Structure 1
Amino acid sequence: MGVLGITDDGFTLDGDPFRMISGALHYFRVHPELWEDRMRKAKWMGLNTIDTYIPWNLHEPQRGAVGAEAGLDLPRFIDLAQEHGLHVLLRPGPYICAEWDGGGLPPWLLTEPDIRYRSTDPRFLGAVESYFAALWPMLVDKLATRGGPVLAVQVENEYGAYGDDTEYMRRLADLLRANGVDVPLFTCDQPADLARGALPGVLRTVTFGSRVAESLAALRAQQPTGPLMCSEFWNGWFDDWGAHHVTRSAEDAAATLDEMLTAGASVNLYMFHGGTNFGFTSGANDKGTYRPIVTSYDYDSPLSEAGDPTPKYLAFRDVIAKHAPVPDGPPPEAGPKLVVPEVTLTSSALLLDSTDVLGFAKQDAQPLTMEQLGQASGFVLYETVVERAGPALLDVTAFGDRVQVFIAGQPVGVLERERHEHVVSLTVPHAGAVLALLVENQGRVDYGQAIHDRKGITGPVLLDGVVVEDWTSRALPLDDLTGLRFAPTTAALVGPAFHRGVMHIDTPADTFLSLAGWTKGNAWVNGFHLGRYWSRGPQQTLYVPAPVLRPGANEITVLELHSTRSPVVALRSQPDLGPTER
């Protein structure tokens, strides 16, 4: 497909002038059966390249176990891109941000109490070295120098916003080269961070969403010659729980894209197609207040979360057509949608009665963190016996990220990290009552200095000012629900509970699970974990990809952490991502 060259005034492809018009498409946020559909639509919009991060935490979930199976089959994703005439940019991190859990850094790194991420700490770099040594043999044949579509590889990710250790960046580049990466390397940084994140001898690119002339001038000030490239044009944005749904008009985003292309720059749209933070994969921000990110990664992208063209998609094609050839033919149409007005979830299982089939337990004087339990995501249930009856003040001094408090099986309060809450008053009904703390990991911080984000209970627990000892810590990753003992629901349920129901359909199609009247929890369809829901919004529906459905019977499971008005859900033809800021 051609080898990328770098000249004083731009890119070349096999020696001919080349402008990169790229869009981000994350294979790990899209069901693998839909990859080709998204690529065809990228090509029709006028893109010649697609860009993807590589999430370390998914490819090496346990230390030493590196793989690319099923939905993580990156080699297949790259091959499909080549089949569709698309070049590829790879961004392997090791840190990727991406509003992804922990910025893609695997949580098992945090078993080292004082490890320093994104540094020359030998414990961190040693883990990166081992990971790259297992990852790159799967990918080197996809490089353009070997006939593949991969034009270039990024070193780290917006490192200048975090640090300025050039030696760390050099070591990463050396690891890439040592593993056979012989295509051009590049860095990306925001305009103010270009000097801090640069690596001598490596192409610099800039990330921004507006102020084109100013941002490109900042790049040119740091890099007097060479291609001008915006490696992340933020044509939309992500959403936090409890905030509004962020949008950007097609007209404004298209005008900015036009200005950039008129200036002669290459561009990578962030995002072309956002996709979904399925399961427990969404990240969080913390600049003094913890802010978890929603399940949808629609990002107000040109291609919607369900892969449908938007007005922004058509506006971008029109802009691109002014500067580069675009394919002929009619625009792609929106895909069919499944509508089921009502599905009643008729059976249930209380979570606190089901812990024996959901995870293992360890005893210790102090609560064990999620990382100490070898657990990446989900929940941890902490239990201890209280020997004295009567009123008491509970103080959970440090935790990540949300605590539901139970005494003798009854819910008595909730503590939230994002609201800086730590104490709750309760009454112990009798000596020997069990105090239970169900702690939810709502997503690890993915940006900034707070990324060393341990989960579960991370500090002492006090009762009336006295440290509580002798705890059972039970990991609840919720990665296997097959052992749950469901029974018909005959009365209102107290406490967290799984609800299950079955619907019958003729033809699978994309749809959106509506949980109106529910409070907070997670949802699965046929065992596929759709992600988190929360009445706090803005997101009110969960995207269900057609490939997870099947003709005939389909099982819906909802974990409700609090209560629901009625155990009924619906499948809608349109998403509800919440109110937008006007």
Structure 2
Amino acid sequence: MSFSRRDGILTVNHETSSLKRETKSPTFTIGIDDFLLHGKPFQIISGALHYFRVHPDLWADRIHKARLMGLNTIETYVPWNQHAPQRGVFDTTAGLDLARFLRLVSEEGMHAIIRPGPYICAEWDNGGLPAWLTADPDVRIRRFEPKFLTAVREYFEQLLPIISVAQIDRGGPVILFQIENEYGAYGADKPYLQALVAMAHDLGITVPLTTVDQSTDQMLDDGSLPELHRTASFGSRSNERLATLRRHQTTGPLMCSEFWDGWFDHWGEHHHTTPVADAAHELDLMLAAGASVNIYMFHGGTNFGFSNGANDKGTYKSQVTSYDYDAPLDEAGYPTEKYHAFREVIGRYSQLPACVPASATNAPAFQTPFQITVPLTDVREKLGRWRVFEHAPTMDHTEQYRGLCIYRTTLNHSDDKIARSGILRLAEIRDRALVSIDGTSVGALNRDNRERAIALPAGDILELLVEDLGRVSYGTRIGEPKGVIGPITLNGEELVHWEVLSLDLTAIDGSLFAGIPTLNLDPMGPSFSKTEFTLSASTDLFLDTSEWGKGIAWINGFNLGRYWSRGPQSTLYIPRSQLRTGINELIILELHAHAQSTARFLPRPSLGNTDY
């Protein structure tokens, strides 16, 4: 296998290949009691910062603020599915330019920890695994299985050359490389872990290899190998968790490589926060014990587009667009009370920079009316093409791996077995379907409510607007297909002869409205609405979504992510780097209706009620 690069896109050529490894004297090693940097004890004080959740023009700002808090290392996952949306392509442009991100870490005088998976969890869509891979029923993920390991090898052959040249023994910042991710919570396939280790070594990784697992006996046993350095993940009872880790690793430095200082949110629940004093106390306990730590998260960022994951432990729960995580640096990049508390704790164990970041100031608050609204039905053929299927397919079968698609069939067939009204039933919906008959809305079917049936009035054309709300990122349901699962029936008879249109919603701008007569319709969905506004200077904005139903927003063609009246969040963060001095364009796709046909911007974010 070899690969070529053009315009930042790495294309895989499937043929035998090998990489020569240049070996130098190691400068970062694992000692009897400590990590050793150039032979001297080194306590890692790290923070998680996912380059793929932060606008690339803001990477340097966030990294700098990490150093000002007293951190000496930046940790990041690598999302395989984001870099490789199709097999044979590896995107390293713009916000996926990992090499540039690592250079910025190095320029700030900091070190880096890389966690490339192949599975990362991270509350990220499909746990970072590509849906084109998990859609293959013959692939058995996260185990010693030939088809899965072949795909992982392709991924590593594209990614690891970027990482290997950035290792500390080659003048770069990378000091640790993690194998898999919390594997003990999923499986115990030692040959699989050994295969990942062999790939890493074969492809030029020379820094120490680690694993991470929750600090339980079973997970620490199942999730690692004797030759790998074990680390733990937890958010409380630090001394107890470190003692458990020490039982499983009698020598070497102790490390909590995921110190959970906050948590993530689901639609329809409260906004999670953790007490500042409690989190600072736990951090103090670890540093006082001489343990190394990676704060998860230092800065959470945003699940832009359709990148959010989901959980399903009996009930499906989709994660929200904001990944603020109640982290020391908030979603907009400003220090919080937790930032200053953590900085004070870190200052007891290492010298701090003299400067501290500026506190948040109010963003501009204003409003602008939508100037044009058009129904989705008027523009949908611009966003994809209809394909014909005898039976209703999954979205994966159509190779639509994120977002929305439309299913359509005609009910007035000559076959008199097919009625034109009655009970419409779906075997399963993943994850939400808006049902309409002859263009009139009938209702919604929601997976999390276990809704699978709806009364259908008489009509001819049945349509389902189906939304993938995020793929499960943790547990046994990773890799499940999306869309319609199983047959769709009307009064017990299967509906066949389906047309499916996959909507390309990656980048929506004003060109969508070209050729459409100017309309000022009532804001009934599904419909696109557009407005323009002018800015005199670069600034962050917070888009108020509290008066809208459910949908997606784009700013200057960039997909900001989903909004939903369920909450908890009722604003969308717009990074200043995505805005222009002068005219800016906001477009929303509202699936239901917005009570106010005006776009409002607030001075502060609103992430929701924190009450349980």
Q: TM-score, normalised by structure 2?
A: 0.92
* Equivalences for residues 494-513 of structure 1 within 5 A: 494-513=524-543
Structure 1 stretch displaced more, 416-425 or 451-460: 451-460
C-alpha RMSD of the superposition: 1.4
Q: Please state how far the C-alpha of 1:243 moved relative to its aligned partner.
A: 0.4
> Is the aligned partner of 1:569 residue 2:599?
yes
Structure 1 stretch displaced more, 481-490 or 244-253: 481-490
Equivalence for 1:418: 448
Equivalence for 2:323: 297
> Is the aligned partner of 1:404 residue 2:434?
yes
Q: Please state how far the C-alpha of 1:484 moved relative to its aligned partner.
A: 2.1
1:66–1:134 contact (8 Å) kept in structure 2? yes
The CA distance in 2 between the partners of 1:577 and 1:493, in whole Å, is 25
Q: Cα gap change, 1:74/1:337 in structure 2, threshold over 3 Å: closer, same or farther?
A: farther
The CA distance in 2 between the partners of 1:195 and 1:323, in whole Å, is 32
Q: Cα gap change, 1:227/1:344 in structure 2, threshold over 3 Å: closer, same or farther?
A: same
The count of corresponding residues between Structure 1 and Structure 2 is: 578
Equivalence for 1:111: 135
Q: Give the one of 486, 491, 497 matched to 1:470.
A: 497
| Partner SS for 2:577 | helix
> Is the aligned partner of 1:67 residue 2:79?
no
Equivalence for 1:551: 581
Equivalence for 2:207: 183
Equivalence for 2:9: none
1:381–1:438 contact (8 Å) kept in structure 2? yes
Equivalence for 2:564: 534
2:508–2:558 contact (8 Å) kept in structure 1? no
Give the partner amino acid of 1:65.
V
Q: Please state how far the C-alpha of 1:449 moved relative to its aligned partner.
A: 0.5
The CA distance in 1 between the partners of 2:521 and 2:69, in whole Å, is 53
The CA distance in 1 between the partners of 2:382 and 2:280, in whole Å, is 52
Equivalence for 1:460: 487
Equivalence for 2:161: 137
The CA distance in 2 between the partners of 1:210 and 1:488, in whole Å, is 57
2:507–2:558 contact (8 Å) kept in structure 1? no
The CA distance in 2 between the partners of 1:200 and 1:505, in whole Å, is 58
Once the two structures are aligned, what percentage of the paired residues are identical?
49
Q: Please state how far the C-alpha of 1:493 moved relative to its aligned partner.
A: 4.5
| Partner SS for 1:507 | coil
Deviations 1:258-300 (A, max 9, x none): 0111111000000000000001000000011100000000000
Q: Please state how far the C-alpha of 1:5 moved relative to its aligned partner.
A: 1.1
Give the partner amino acid of 1:450.
R
The CA distance in 2 between the partners of 1:541 and 1:105, in whole Å, is 29
1:46–1:320 contact (8 Å) kept in structure 2? yes
The CA distance in 2 between the partners of 1:224 and 1:2, in whole Å, is 23
Give the partner amino acid of 1:332.
P
Unmatched tracts of structure 2, length 5 or more: 1-24, 413-417
Equivalence for 1:46: 70
Q: Please state how far the C-alpha of 1:349 moved relative to its aligned partner.
A: 1.9
Q: Please state how far the C-alpha of 1:453 moved relative to its aligned partner.
A: 2.0
Equivalence for 1:279: 305
> Is the aligned partner of 1:333 residue 2:383?
no
2:305–2:506 contact (8 Å) kept in structure 1? no
Structure 1 stretch displaced more, 132-141 or 316-325: 132-141
Q: Please state how far the C-alpha of 1:474 moved relative to its aligned partner.
A: 1.0
Give the partner amino acid of 2:74.
I
Equivalence for 1:253: 279
Q: Give the one of 232, 237, 240 matched to 2:263.
A: 237
| Partner SS for 1:81 | helix
Give the partner amino acid of 1:455.
K
| Partner SS for 1:415 | strand
* Equivalences for residues 136-535 of structure 1 within 5 A: 136-192=160-216, 193-329=219-355, 331-334=356-359, 337-387=362-412, 390-429=420-459, 433-482=460-509, 483-485=511-513, 487-535=517-565
Structure 1 stretch displaced more, 448-457 or 307-316: 448-457
Structure 1 stretch displaced more, 511-520 or 239-248: 511-520
The CA distance in 2 between the partners of 1:240 and 1:420, in whole Å, is 17
Q: Cα gap change, 1:360/1:491 in structure 2, threshold over 3 Å: closer, same or farther?
A: closer
Q: TM-score, normalised by structure 1?
A: 0.97
Give the partner amino acid of 2:476.
Q
1:244–1:581 contact (8 Å) kept in structure 2? yes
Give the partner amino acid of 2:549.
T
The CA distance in 2 between the partners of 1:67 and 1:530, in whole Å, is 20
Q: Cα gap change, 1:300/1:493 in structure 2, threshold over 3 Å: closer, same or farther?
A: closer
Q: Please state how far the C-alpha of 1:389 moved relative to its aligned partner.
A: 5.8
The CA distance in 2 between the partners of 1:487 and 1:333, in whole Å, is 47
Equivalence for 1:89: 113
The CA distance in 1 between the partners of 2:375 and 2:229, in whole Å, is 55
Equivalence for 1:23: 47
Structure 1 stretch displaced more, 233-242 or 566-575: 566-575
The CA distance in 2 between the partners of 1:512 and 1:262, in whole Å, is 40
The CA distance in 1 between the partners of 2:236 and 2:291, in whole Å, is 14
The CA distance in 1 between the partners of 2:483 and 2:163, in whole Å, is 36
Equivalence for 2:18: none
Give the partner amino acid of 1:163.
G
The CA distance in 2 between the partners of 1:438 and 1:491, in whole Å, is 21
Unmatched tracts of structure 1, length 5 or more: none
Deviations 1:499-549 (A, max 9, x none): 100011111201110012100000011111110000100000000000111
The CA distance in 2 between the partners of 1:114 and 1:244, in whole Å, is 39
Q: Please state how far the C-alpha of 1:494 moved relative to its aligned partner.
A: 4.0
Deviations 1:111-170 (A, max 9, x none): 312421111221111111011111112221101121111001000000000011111111
Structure 1 stretch displaced more, 487-496 or 168-177: 487-496
1:212–1:256 contact (8 Å) kept in structure 2? yes
The CA distance in 2 between the partners of 1:301 and 1:339, in whole Å, is 24
Give the partner amino acid of 1:376.
Y
2:421–2:490 contact (8 Å) kept in structure 1? no
Deviations 1:85-116 (A, max 9, x none): 11000000000000000000011013312421
1:162–1:449 contact (8 Å) kept in structure 2? yes
Equivalence for 2:10: none
Q: Please state how far the C-alpha of 1:326 moved relative to its aligned partner.
A: 1.2
